[in-house]
Amino acid sequence: MKREKKGKAVVVGGSIGGVSCAHALVAAGWEVLVLEKSAAPPTGSPTGAGLGLDPLAQRLIDSWVGATHLLRDATVPLTIDLNQATDGEKKVSWTLTRDENFNFRAAHWADLHSLLYNALPPSIFLWGHLFLSLCTSGENAGIKIKAKVLQTNETVEIAGDLLVAADGCLSSIRKIFLPDLKLRYSGYCAWRGVLDFSDNENSEIITGLQKAYPDLGKCLYFDLGYRTHVVLYELPNKRMNWIWYVGQPEPQIQEGYRDEFKNNWITTLMLYLHTVVLSNLN
Ligand SMILES: Cc1cc2nc3c(=O)[nH]c(=O)nc-3n(C[C@H](O)[C@H](O)[C@H](O)COP(=O)(O)OP(=O)(O)OC[C@H]3O[C@@H](n4cnc5c(N)ncnc54)[C@H](O)[C@@H]3O)c2cc1C
């Protein structure tokens, strides 16, 4: 892309969306500033999420980080996409679709974030800055935002020509522009996590999973059950990404009960995975 100076873009949010926008904007010739409320860049987390990258995402990331081997080294190829159904009562599974030319790659959130973050100049990031408000002063006059520096409680003003809201699904910037927008419940809850099994490769649950899902390591599994489905795929360095979707009425979660709710569901998830593994083995 032609590098003409376009103006100054302020990106709010320094997660995967924010750092990706920063790359795209830098490549298009913008001066970029990223504001993130977290105190410091993530240093790699054992938990988190797996991300499946399609060929276009892989090409974009390669162009942003400037070398193809970096993404390749940080991900595993997913060459198969398999959709199967499991009948838990009858304890049978059958294949619905199997695509052997999938061409995705699987990354761990923290690995992908650090790859993207390390390919940007650190000086464009303002960590520990909480976006507070925004004002525009007339057409084409740019934007001014207020942010709180969390360490000092001081409020600073930042001017720019373009504002990018990469502040997540509960975006406070979206609330400014679309105050009446209500998020719509999708009909299911999803739980996800990454299981690091580098220390217990031969445990019953891991060997059971590998028997039930023999192409783990190169396959993205969608296992559909009654009102539920599970997504499983392996990540680099002996980590298993799992997501469990449960079709259910919208839960009313009060703030204080969040952790208790989470712990109960995680116990149920382990039981469910165990059941899926056992039903596939039988
Ligand atoms: C259960 C579940 C499973 C999922 N599984 C997958 C999956 O397998 N693959 C996939 O691709 N996606 C998945 N997603 C979706 C994925 O997590 C999100 O789409 C992705 O994290 C969004 O990234 P983001 O950068 O837009 O937002 P976020 O990761 O939410 O980042 C928003 C950032 O903005 C910062 N921020 C927020 N408010 C402010 C503020 N006022 N001032 C400054 N900073 C602020 C936050 O600290 C945060 O760093 C899943 C989501 C859920 C809930």
Nearest to 117 by CA among 247, 235, 18: 18
The verdict on the CB of residue 148 being under 6 Å from ligand 1 is no
Atom of ligand 1 nearest to the CA of 190: 1
In a domain, 199, yes or no: yes
What is the per-residue pLDDT for 282?
45
CB 85 within 8 Å of CB 225? yes
Q: What is the mean pLDDT of residues 210-222?
A: 95
Q: Which of 10, 37, 47 to mutate to test the pocket of ligand 1 (most atoms within 8 A of CB)?
A: 37
Instruction: Kindly give the distance from the C-alpha atom of residue 105 to the centroid of ligand 1, in angstroms, as a whole number.
Output: 19
In the chain, what are the helix, strand and coil shares in percent, each to the nearest 5? 30, 35, 35
The CATH number that applies at residue 155 is 3.50.50.60
User: Which of 128, 147, 177 is the last residue in one of the domains?
Assistant: 177
Instruction: Kindly give the distance from the C-alpha atom of residue 257 to the centroid of ligand 1, in angstroms, as a whole number.
Output: 22
Domain that residue 190 falls in: 80-107+185-281
What is the per-residue pLDDT for 91?
87
Average pLDDT, rounded, for the chain: 89
Q: What is the mean pLDDT of residues 184-188?
A: 91
In a domain, 273, yes or no: yes
- Which residue type, as a one-letter code, is found at position 246? V
Alpha-carbon gap, residue 99 to 82, rounded angstroms: 6
At 139-164, the pLDDT tens digits run: 777 899 999 999 999 999 999 999 99
What is the per-residue pLDDT for 276?
59
Q: Under DSSP, is residue 7 helix (H, G, I), strand (E, B) or coil?
A: coil
Alpha-carbon gap, residue 105 to 61, rounded angstroms: 12
CB 96 within 8 Å of CB 84? yes
What is the per-residue pLDDT for 267?
54
Number of domains in the chain: 2
Nearest to 222 by CA among 98, 102, 51: 98
Residue 86: pLDDT over 50:
yes
Alpha-helix runs per DSSP H in the chain? 16-27, 55-65, 68-74, 109-118, 172-177, 204-212, 258-281
Sort strands 104-108 and 50-53 into parallel, antiparallel or unpaired: antiparallel
Same domain, 208 and 171: no
CB 207 within 8 Å of CB 79? no
Instruction: Kindly give the distance from the C-alpha atom of residue 234 to the centroid of ligand 1, in angstroms, as a whole number.
Output: 21
The verdict on the CB of residue 243 being under 6 Å from ligand 1 is yes
Same domain, 36 and 156: yes
At 6-54, the pLDDT tens digits run: 899 999 999 999 999 999 999 999 999 999 999 998 876 656 789 999 9
The verdict on the CB of residue 48 being under 6 Å from ligand 1 is no
Same domain, 100 and 226: yes
Same domain, 276 and 161: no
